[in-house]
Amino acid sequence: MAEQPMIVHDPAGVRLATHPDYPVFKHVVPLPSISLMDSIGAATLENFFIVAEAWASVVSRFAPTGASVLDIGCGCGRTARLLLLRPDLTYLGFDVFKPAIEWAEAYLSPLSGGRFRFAHVDGHSAHYNPRGALASRDVVFPAADGRTDVAFAASLFTHLLEPDAEHYLAESARCLRRGGVLVASIHDEPPPGVRYAGREDRIDVERGYFVTLAGRAGFALREDLGALCGQTALAFERR
């Protein structure tokens, strides 16, 4: 069987608009355009809301009162829109997909009273940012050392090649305080005998091997969360 071509979400083709079927209501978080929803794999509004609620629930489970939250690969703020309902949180989301960041800054940040911020990092991704200036291994997360309480990566490591995943784990560890938590999801069905496989549009890694990679970065497995929205979610604690 011939290998299928990689899907590329070109930033140039994305509309910075709200959803055409839903107006913008005052004091209500708007919905992103269909093209932005498509860029995060949300084929329907039902999928968009179910995944948002699931991840917001998990993040809130690990976020103490007054927590600082880092959203690694935040897209257009699918999870952030529900975390806005936690008035005690401060939040930083970043992504290599610039239109998503521009949209979130325009429509979500103003509703946060200064608590939520979104940043673009120009890392190269064949899947999301083919003209990015930085190799993934050179990306520096826009967060200070040891100041984050909870970091999460919803369907991020499902798109990172192994060296890039190792770098992102190390950067996550740098940003988290000691005892802080990283929640990450993976696809864990590589071909038999292969630990890490795929392209940037779909990466699979053995669960145990991903735990090993996280351990090298300074993490200990805190909780296996099992299935979460079609992926396997793991919570790690910064040693």
Any alpha helices (H) in the chain, and if so which ranges? 34-39, 45-62, 80-83, 98-107, 162-175, 207-216
Strands (E) in the chain, as ranges, are 68-72, 90-95, 116-120, 148-153, 176-186, 196-199, 202-205, 219-228, 231-238
Q: Give the least confident one: 2-11, 20-29, 46-55, 142-151.
A: 2-11
pTM given for the model: 0.94
- Average pLDDT estimate for 121-137: 92
> Cα(204)–Cα(161) distance, rounded to whole angstroms?
10
Q: How far is Cα 128 from Cα 15, in angstroms, rounded to an integer?
A: 15
As a whole number of angstroms, the distance between CA 157 and CA 217 comes to 15
Tokens of 32: 């992103």
- The whole-angstrom separation of Cα 43 and Cα 140 is 31
Average pLDDT across the chain, whole number: 94
Reported as a single tens digit per residue, the pLDDT across 73-82 is 999 999 999 9
**Closest by CA position to 168, among listed 139, 202, 128, 134:** 139
Tell which residue, 221, 195, 217, 212, has the closest CA to residue 141. 217
| Domains of the chain listed by start with CATH number | 11-20+27-238 (3.40.50.150)
**If pLDDT is split at 50, 70 and 90, which confidence band does 15 have?**
low
Q: How confident is the model at residue 128 (pLDDT cuts 50, 70, 90)?
A: confident
Confidence of residue 3 (pLDDT cuts 50, 70, 90): low
Q: What is the pLDDT of residues 188-224, one digit of tens each?
A: 999 999 999 999 999 999 999 999 999 999 999 999 9
Confidence of residue 127 (pLDDT cuts 50, 70, 90): confident
- What percent of the chain clears pLDDT 70, i.e. is strictly above it? 94
Q: What does DSSP say about strands 68-72 and 148-153: parallel, antiparallel, or unpaired?
A: parallel
**Residue 138, Cβ neighbours under 10 Å: how many?**
10
pLDDT per residue over 76-99, tens digit each? 999 999 999 999 999 999 999 999
* Mean pLDDT of all residues in 11-33: 85
pLDDT at 4: 55
Q: How confident is the model at residue 2 (pLDDT cuts 50, 70, 90)?
A: very low
- C-beta separation of 211 from 196 below 8 A: no
